[in-house]
Structure formats: structure tokens, C-alpha cells
Chains A and B, each alone.
Chain A
Amino acid sequence: MSALQKILYVEDEADIQAVAKLALEMVGGFTVKVCSSGEEALREAEAFAPDMILLDVMMPGIDGPNTLVGLRKIPALATTPVAFMTAKVQPQEVASYKALGAKDVIPKPFDPMTLADQVRRVWSS
């Protein structure tokens, strides 16, 4: 497994996009591509060829879990590590995300200074 560099971040909230992108790029030094919806992610993910994908859960249109299902159908992304970033972290919710194939869940609100470390930990776990 090569180093974690390219992250696809799918989030509909523009403000959170900005904070997370900043945290991941400035603190973590990653290359981040942000998609504002599941549809956009499904359209552009393959071309971006991310090392890891971060997905919000509640989004208009295709939500996070369905986006994950769609991404898994793209051969190039079938094994790309995926983590959900969400405030919906009740035990049964977390269990359902993991059942879909997510590696882990990063709860919101996240600490921007340690977010990059968290993502790295999930990626390498």
C-alpha cells in the first residue's frame, strides 16, 4: 500500500467542506477533492483516483450509504478505503455503516488539528 495522498471528500455543507478541506490540506498535507453530492462523487471519483474516500451520511439526492454502494460498483474504487464523517453516530448507525463496507466513522464535530491523523489512522487500520 502506497502512502495516503489523495482524498475524495463528499459533503453537501459548504462550510464544513471548507473547514475539512483546509484541515486536511494545511495540517495533513493531503490533496483533497471535494464533491458536494453523491451524484457528483459517482461522476468524478474514478477520474480523481483517490487513495481514500470520506463520505457524509445525510445528503440530498444520493445519501452517503448509497454513494458508497455506487462507488463500490466502479471497479477502480471497489477496494478504496472509505470512512463516513457524520454526526449520526448512535451504535446501530455506526454498525450499519460498517456493514456497508466502511472502515470506520469519524464523528462530527471533528478536531481540525487532529483530523488528518484520524484519517491516516483509519486508512492504515
Chain B
Amino acid sequence: MTRLVIVDDHEALRDGLVALLRDGGMDVVGTASNVAGGIDTVLRCDPDVAIVDIALPDGSGISLTRQLLEIRPDLGVILYTGDSDADKLVEGLDSGARGYALKAGSMSELTAAIESVAGGGSYVDPRLDRVLLAEPSTAREPTLSPREKEVINLMAEGMTAEAIANELRVSIETVRTHSRNVIRKLRARNRVHAIAIALQRGEIELGAEAEG
């Protein structure tokens, strides 16, 4: 059974979603109303998937997603919002969230999103297709997080995943997840290709540390 955490500042929505999702066979293991509570709940409850509202009182759900994935790179995050704004959608997907569901969607759509993300896949509400298609492909380039830049920089210096994990004091799996995210964001074919693109885009500089 999929273990879920819900982060939304609207109490009635949280409680209602818990009832609806439990009825749909999901195991809701925790809820939170803000960014700080979201981090605490995910650490405490160890869910497979977190449903995160974009607008939270003490910060954005997108920023929370980045923080959660730093701590738990394997966590499936679904951004859950009433907003179909193109900028937020692109920023949300860049944050590493694997799902983007609209509150306008039905409960069966949300359940499908959870199942897809829990199974390692991704989900974007079909109503957002027109938003994504309207975006010129060259208009935006996904930005790498500071941690992803650090990882790709160390890879460019020839370090292995194990050595990077030791250097950054994280697990090898975390390094591998960052590496996969970098490859995906840069639309690279493999690690070497990702390093080449990152250098070309100026995301990293070889020998920068040695000179500094």
C-alpha cells in the first residue's frame, strides 16, 4: 500500500483528502500545513509519496520539494495546485517533482497520479498539455540545483559516485539520484554528455576550485 503524506494549509482539504484517499486504498501516514511541518512529517513518517500544495504560508511548495528531495531523493513528490500558470509548472517540474496535479482534476485522476509516481513514473495533469505545448522549447532551460551542480562538478573532475558520496557525506544512492536528475534536466544521453552540456552552458567550470 502506498504511504502518503499531504502538505496543504487548508485544513478542510487535508482532512477531506485523507478521507477520500483512504477510501481509495491509500495509506495516509501524515499531514502538515506548512513547509517546516512538511519536512518534519516526511522525516518522521517516511512516506513513498508526498502531495504538496504549491502555496504554503511559510514558503512555496516548490521550495519545499527541493528541500525534501535533498533529504529524500527517492521521494515521489506531487505538486497539487489550483494554478495552471506556465511559469509555476516549469519551475515545479524543474524542482524535481515527478507529479503535477490540478485541484480541478477528479479524485480518480489524483489516485492515478499517486500510483504512477509511487511506481517510479511521473504524472502531469492532461489539462496542462496545452500550457506545456504553448511553451517554446527554447524559452526555458531547466536550472540545476546547487547540489546537482556540485555533483556534476565533481563528476567532471573524474570522481566516482562513491568518492562523491564520501566527499559530500551523502549515500551513493543520493549521488546517483542527483546524477539522474542532471542527465534528465540537461536532456543528456549519459553522464559524459551531461558534463559536456553543463560545461557548455557554464553551469560548471573545470579547475575552478584549484584556481580559487
A binds B: no
Interface residues in chain A, defined as those with a beta carbon under 8 Å from any beta carbon in chain B: none
